[in-house]
Amino acid sequence: MSRTWYFLGLFIALLLGLGAGLAYAWVISPRSLSDASPALLRADFKDQYRSAIAAAYASSGNLPRAQARLSLLGDGDAAEALNAQAQRSLARGDFADADRLAALALALETGASVSLPGTTSETPAPPTPVLPSPTTLNFVLTETPETLETVPAATLPPILTSPPRPTRTPSPTPGAPFRLVGQDTVCDPNLPEGLLQVIVLNASRRQMPGVKILVTWDTGGEEIFTGLKPELGNGYADFLMSPGVPHAVQLALGSEIATALTPPTCRTPNGETYFGGYKLTFQQP
């Protein structure tokens, strides 16, 4: 009997010791974590970290700083991680966050800064020119402000001036980051009538999710995004056109414009007519 009580007391003592140790470690004096790497964050916290980096890049346009911050997450492919998160943001309806993430991913892949509409980049102010002190200028203004002469005037030959001739300055031409490399008519009775399919590729021919596409017509317009149907491709988007109405398609990041897209009339092998569609392919040069 005494041996049984001995083991029972030992077991109770072990439980009390374990409980006291856990209470001290978790409640009384928990260990504080500091200077931890962002790579140790949970997946949802990493998404918040990327969103904050993308928002900072959209405001400042500082690509090297964004690259340095993203490297702390330890992602194998930072651009791919941003594109995947942009697709998740689109799925939950956060289009602003998706635009920022996609713009940063595009900048990482191309190496060039990409500005979103409505954002400004930090541009250093030009240096202020240093003018000579007024005491070093030996000019006297006459009654006509446009004419300056030095003192003494008799020692200098007369200077004949003529009004400058106007020069023709060429107007800047906006660039087109994406080119329309394919525009095919699609006649397939298995597809919805008037289906407009758009595929967006980068310079490496990889499909790009989260790209905003503008579809307009005479009486309205609509915005669509790539990546909402990943089973058809990360750079795929589609839209149903109205029969008899010409449509125009352009990427919001800037691209060539596909115009006069009216659903074509197609025929089945039995002679029945239906409305076909188009397949547009945009790619970075």
State the pLDDT at residue 4: 79
pLDDT of res. 132: 46
**pLDDT at res. 281:** 96
Q: What is the pLDDT of residue 176?
A: 54
pLDDT given at position 213: 95
What CATH code is assigned to 179-283? 2.60.40.10
**Can you give the pLDDT at residue 113?**
64
CA 128 to chain centre: 33
User: Mean of the pLDDT values across residues 39-52?
Assistant: 88
Angle between the 63-71 and 95-110 helix axes, to the nearest 10 degrees?
Answer: 100
> Which pTM was predicted?
0.46
- 112 within 8 A of 105, measured Cβ to Cβ: no
Percentage of the residues of the chain whose pLDDT score is greater than 70? 74
DSSP per-residue letters across 9-68? HHHHHHHHHHHHHHHIIIIISPPPP-S--GGGS-HHHHHHHHHHHHHHHHHH--HHHHHH
Q: Is the dihedral of CA 243, 248, 252, 257 positive or negative?
A: positive
Domain boundaries, the chain: 38-110, 179-283
Highest-pLDDT range among 149-153, 207-211, 277-281? 277-281
Confidence of residue 131 (pLDDT cuts 50, 70, 90): very low
Is the confidence at residue 196, as pLDDT, over 60? yes
Helix residue spans in 164-208 (DSSP H): none
